[in-house]
Structure 1
Amino acid sequence: MPEQTDVLVVGAGPTGLAVAAELALAGVGAIVIDALPERSGQSKALALQPRSAELLDSRGWLEPLRPHIHARLAEGHFAGLPLDYSVLETRFPHQIAVEQARIEEVLEARAGRVRWAHACTAVRQSADEVAVAVETPAGPAEIAARFAVAADGAHSTVRRALGVPFPGRAARMRLAVADVTLARKPTGLAEAWAPPEFGSGGFGYLLPLGAGVYRVLFGGEEQQAKERTEPVTAAEVQRGLEAVHGDGVEVAAVRWGSRFSDASRQVERYRHGRVLFAGDAAHIHLPAGGQGLNLGLQDAFNLGWKLAAVARGDAEESLLDTYHDERHPVASRVLVNTRAQGVLTIPDPDLLALREVFGDLLAGPAANRRLAGEVSGIDIRNGIAAAPPRSSTGLRLPDTALDCARPSLLAARPVLIGPPHLEAIARPWRDRLDTAAGNAGMLVRPDGYLAWTDPDGEQGLARALGRWLGAPLQHDANTGTERTRDHA
């Protein structure tokens, strides 16, 4: 007989771990598997955007990262062109420079034990469950779950097993990333994190990771002929750095290296029956502007509480469709802006001229605010049909109301903030809703987005409670108790 669980998460990267941590917080059973024999300890991503920092902080998960933060950067960037984050209305108007490996450590501690060396080999699903065949150190096994989350990366085994198309644009530009030590540093190299530098031969980061190790990211003509699985050598890193920094740099050793491209793809639907796609399994793009890790984390925070509500029986399965409705457009926009950034990084004289013009435009406050809000994730508004004028529904919780909502968000619970008379409307949902006093009425989802605000009207509040929290409690005259339709 297969092992049973409520949710099976395939992939123990930051997206999968964040989903599992959200489920654990809600008391929903989950198993996390990953094909790797153990965590690599390497960090592909190196920064948290402001919205991701807000989300982690709302759960109390940012605090354990503080000892590992390299810097707080007041600027983001768009293809290396600076974006001023100080204009953003947030407690975190900066990028937080911290390695992905540290984020994964914090999330894994809250997600429960990961089963390493457990490779998904096949997936089948019925109307009631998903069954995943797994190759383990002890031999073949099977895990059956009510739902599965495919967070197994760009080359997702789950996606291929289900035959889910991954439409988009193939790679046109190939790049490499490596952690190296240097025998000689280029003149003027700052021992601080900074945007990428551009030269006639391409672009390249040199970021200090500490203990004499530097992160290198480089492109150039040589990379176009490389296969994804080829090892990254010290010689090619040397050539890549010289194209940008000249001959004043010398690579001593390569600690770790990987290859990637600007391929741009996205699944058409994030939900396929009982399987939900998240992170790179759902979308891939050039990692420009530091958005990739953050896009996956924000997928997880959108999906986790909804999956928990359905698994507990509080909400109907249709709630899971809102995950696609809200997150697919966000990723689509990221694919657009990263493709645009890719064009602006091509070392062609005319495109370098375009960079200069575009950089002048970004110096204007309106253009800077527009792109800073997009790249940081601060300006995301979840689609709400026909929201009344002045309504903030769909936007993130404003900082001014954070103190009221924080105890509930720490527990991943929704909260209704407002005058006492609103509690009467919300009473049929009191088993799964917190309340807090406040002047302005707002219904805050567990992911910190507003599901209802005063301009939506009190009838709108009842509709929002039913939409996001499920069926109200019903009085049972026979037993004198209250129950929801799902538990009837």
Structure 2
Amino acid sequence: MRVEADVIIAGAGPVGLMLAGELRLAGVRPLVLERYAERSEVPRANGLGGHILEMLRFRGVLEEFEAASIGMAHPAPKYPFGDVHLDFSNLADPPLRGLYLPQQRLERLLEERAAELGAEVRRGHEITGFTQDDTAVTVQATGPEGAYEVTGRYLVGCDGGRSRVRELAGIAFPGTTYPEVNRLGQVTLPDSVTTSDNGDLQVPGLGLVRAGFTRTERGLFGFGWLSPGLALIQTTEKEPAEIGEGGLTLAELGDSIERVLGGRLPLGEPVRLSRYQFQARQAERYRDGRVLVAGDAAHLFPATGVGLNAGLYDAVNLAWKLTGELDGWAPPGLLDTYHGERHYAGARTMMHTQAQVALRRGLDPAADALRELFLEIVTDEQPLRRIGSLLAGADLRYPMPGADHPLAGGFAPDLTLHTDQGTTSVAELMHPARPVLLDLADRADLREVAQDWKEIVEIRTAKAEDRPADALLIRPDAHVAWAAAIGESAETAAPALRTALTTWFG
């Protein structure tokens, strides 16, 4: 049996499903192959956080995701950085937001969206090998009915940190595995543990255990509430010899808590138990010919809460560039910009997550002083916002050759737009994932330039209060490729727009 597809995606996790949905928006035919027969119901990632929430809003699906979340859609804005907490609660518009949406719910939503758009997901189908040439990739796979081949124009590995696709492509994955052992549990707590109004615990024999992080000479204990009655508990120890056989058990977690805190914390029923070590790894290249990697197959970060945000953005960045190649309008080198932009973004994420490692690992007075100084600095609004934007990925600006406007390379501002058809917004314009030339100053000269690209680029005219530019060229991933300064002459704006259109859309 031979199956044909435009893009073969290895892995039906969040990144692979996000990529499938984005490709279907553009009319591309993806085939998702997932080696597990059923979607895992074991809790893994606890939710989404960061600027990917804005991207979901720009696709028109954020409200649906919020409705599926547990508890408050955007809980109190306190986030871990290393072993300290950043408190955004005094900011009216925090730069970092979260959504408590367990991974199994997130995957269900993404798969339903991809299926509604026409994507095919095959579970119980594992990739065992592939070959590629100048025109296609042929994948060898096994499924419930045996071995078969699939031919596609491209193959994308979204198959996790132990990616088989990355391994078969010979893409190096250099980096570090940190020796500390982390044990994590989502558990209920018995009635013998008293909870105070601020979330702290009173534990018989231990006394007060504060929410957040507690550091001792034996390790680190972290505690918080996921929802009423369900606690998130984590320990970190430099004791690899204490690792038990098989998966983490409730008894092993309890023993680890006792070693770190010096006393026993009664535990109730577990919902999730896991043991892991942090890794800091990034693929040497995100592309090898017609084979690409995204998500954990491309990067592993030594901190929680950022990998999923980065991986979903990989999918959004890659999808429209694959579409350009498949539809024939992509300029030379467009697909190579996937590596250039997302490897750059991954390096920035690696930088701040490794900084968190430094804050987390130190056990001497110098490390204590560093944490104290850091917390003192982030009580000021400007540095707090700066770090929040860095964690969220909201500060990311891709290099845009020939575009020197302050908005170029960044995420498009969500302006309220007034048109002849009524009021809309930049976010609504981006729902179909098409590039847009947005004329905010009735610039017929710029609209005329864009006519040669009207089959690819949507040309829209609107008015906006306090417009930041005369015109914006917005890519399908909602990043600004070019902008005309207010009042910029046709002699400079028109050639620059033509260059930008040629650079990105052929």
TM-score, normalised by the number of residues in structure 1:
0.88
Q: Are 1:441 and 2:471 an aligned pair?
A: yes
Moved more, 230-239 or 202-211: 202-211
User: In the TM superposition, what is the alpha-carbon distance from 1:11 to its structure 2 partner?
Assistant: 0.8
Moved more, 66-75 or 27-36: 66-75
The 8 Å contact of residues 264 and 284 in structure 1, kept in 2 or not, is answered as yes
- What secondary structure is seen at the aligned counterpart in 1 of 2:173? coil
What residue in structure 2 maps to residue 302 of structure 1?
Answer: 317
The 8 Å contact of residues 188 and 267 in structure 2, kept in 1 or not, is answered as yes
Q: Aligned letter for 1:445?
A: R
Q: Aligned letter for 1:345?
A: R
C-alpha distance in 1 between matches for 2:211 and 2:345:
24
What residue in structure 2 maps to residue 66 of structure 1?
Answer: 66
- What secondary structure is seen at the aligned counterpart in 2 of 1:31? strand
User: In the TM superposition, what is the alpha-carbon distance from 1:226 to its structure 2 partner?
Assistant: 2.8
Moved more, 317-326 or 38-47: 38-47
What residue in structure 2 maps to residue 454 of structure 1?
Answer: 484
The 8 Å contact of residues 36 and 124 in structure 2, kept in 1 or not, is answered as yes
What residue in structure 2 maps to residue 432 of structure 1?
Answer: 456
Q: Aligned letter for 1:156?
A: S
- What secondary structure is seen at the aligned counterpart in 1 of 2:179? coil
Q: Are 1:79 and 2:82 an aligned pair?
A: yes
Counterpart among 274, 279, 290 of residue 274 in structure 1 = 290
Cα 1:363–1:400 change in 2 (3 A) is same
The 8 Å contact of residues 34 and 114 in structure 1, kept in 2 or not, is answered as yes
C-alpha distance in 1 between matches for 2:107 and 2:163:
19
Counterpart among 412, 424, 431 of residue 410 in structure 1 = 431
What residue in structure 2 maps to residue 57 of structure 1?
Answer: 57
Cα 1:108–1:221 change in 2 (3 A) is same
User: In the TM superposition, what is the alpha-carbon distance from 1:85 to its structure 2 partner?
Assistant: 4.8
C-alpha distance in 1 between matches for 2:317 and 2:48:
17
Q: Aligned letter for 2:71?
A: H
Q: Are 1:178 and 2:185 an aligned pair?
A: yes
What residue in structure 2 maps to residue 468 of structure 1?
Answer: 504
User: In the TM superposition, what is the alpha-carbon distance from 1:366 to its structure 2 partner?
Assistant: 3.4
C-alpha distance in 1 between matches for 2:437 and 2:90:
29
Cα 1:86–1:445 change in 2 (3 A) is farther
Cα 1:372–1:415 change in 2 (3 A) is same
Cα 1:163–1:282 change in 2 (3 A) is same
User: In the TM superposition, what is the alpha-carbon distance from 1:374 to its structure 2 partner?
Assistant: 0.6
What residue in structure 2 maps to residue 44 of structure 1?
Answer: 44
Q: Are 1:232 and 2:233 an aligned pair?
A: no
Cα 1:89–1:339 change in 2 (3 A) is same
The 8 Å contact of residues 393 and 453 in structure 1, kept in 2 or not, is answered as yes
Q: How many residues align?
A: 467
The 8 Å contact of residues 80 and 195 in structure 1, kept in 2 or not, is answered as no
Counterpart among 141, 146, 151 of residue 153 in structure 2 = 146
After the TM superposition, which residues 83-482 of structure 1 pair with which residues of structure 2 at under 5 Å, given as runs? 83=86, 85=88, 94-112=97-115, 113-184=120-191, 186-188=193-195, 196-200=212-216, 201-210=218-227, 212-223=229-240, 225-226=242-243, 230-242=246-258, 247=263, 249-288=265-304, 290-316=305-331, 318-346=333-361, 348-350=363-365, 351-388=367-404, 390-400=405-415, 403-418=424-439, 419-421=442-444, 422-438=446-462, 440-455=470-485, 457-470=493-506
- What secondary structure is seen at the aligned counterpart in 1 of 2:368? helix
User: In the TM superposition, what is the alpha-carbon distance from 1:182 to its structure 2 partner?
Assistant: 3.0
Moved more, 355-364 or 319-328: 355-364
Moved more, 316-325 or 149-158: 316-325
TM-score, normalised by the number of residues in structure 2:
0.85
Deviation per residue, 1:1-57 (Å, 9 max, x gap): 521100001011111111001011111101001111211123322232341100011
User: In the TM superposition, what is the alpha-carbon distance from 1:155 to its structure 2 partner?
Assistant: 0.3
Cα 1:54–1:243 change in 2 (3 A) is farther
The 8 Å contact of residues 482 and 500 in structure 2, kept in 1 or not, is answered as yes
- What secondary structure is seen at the aligned counterpart in 2 of 1:142? strand
The 8 Å contact of residues 404 and 417 in structure 1, kept in 2 or not, is answered as no
The 8 Å contact of residues 133 and 143 in structure 1, kept in 2 or not, is answered as yes
Cα 1:102–1:204 change in 2 (3 A) is farther
The 8 Å contact of residues 59 and 410 in structure 1, kept in 2 or not, is answered as yes
Q: Are 1:28 and 2:44 an aligned pair?
A: no
- What secondary structure is seen at the aligned counterpart in 2 of 1:416? strand
- What secondary structure is seen at the aligned counterpart in 2 of 1:45? coil
What residue in structure 2 maps to residue 480 of structure 1?
Answer: none
C-alpha distance in 1 between matches for 2:499 and 2:296:
34
User: In the TM superposition, what is the alpha-carbon distance from 1:453 to its structure 2 partner?
Assistant: 0.2
User: In the TM superposition, what is the alpha-carbon distance from 1:123 to its structure 2 partner?
Assistant: 2.1
How high is the sequence identity, in percent, across the aligned residues?
Answer: 34
Q: Aligned letter for 1:138?
A: E
Cα 1:82–1:321 change in 2 (3 A) is same
User: In the TM superposition, what is the alpha-carbon distance from 1:310 to its structure 2 partner?
Assistant: 1.7
Cα 1:314–1:224 change in 2 (3 A) is farther
Q: Aligned letter for 1:457?
A: A
C-alpha distance in 2 between matches for 1:25 and 1:191:
45
C-alpha distance in 2 between matches for 1:445 and 1:224:
51
What residue in structure 2 maps to residue 7 of structure 1?
Answer: 7
Mark the runs of 5 or more structure 1 residues left unpaired by the alignment. 471-488
The 8 Å contact of residues 133 and 140 in structure 1, kept in 2 or not, is answered as yes
The 8 Å contact of residues 35 and 117 in structure 1, kept in 2 or not, is answered as yes
The 8 Å contact of residues 173 and 283 in structure 2, kept in 1 or not, is answered as yes
Q: Aligned letter for 1:429?
A: W
Mark the runs of 5 or more structure 2 residues left unpaired by the alignment. 201-209, 418-423, 464-469, 486-491
The 8 Å contact of residues 18 and 300 in structure 1, kept in 2 or not, is answered as yes
C-alpha distance in 1 between matches for 2:477 and 2:396:
12
Q: Aligned letter for 1:406?
A: A
Deviation per residue, 1:155-204 (Å, 9 max, x gap): 00111112211111233323122333333564436697998422214334
Deviation per residue, 1:94-127 (Å, 9 max, x gap): 2223222222111111223421111111122111
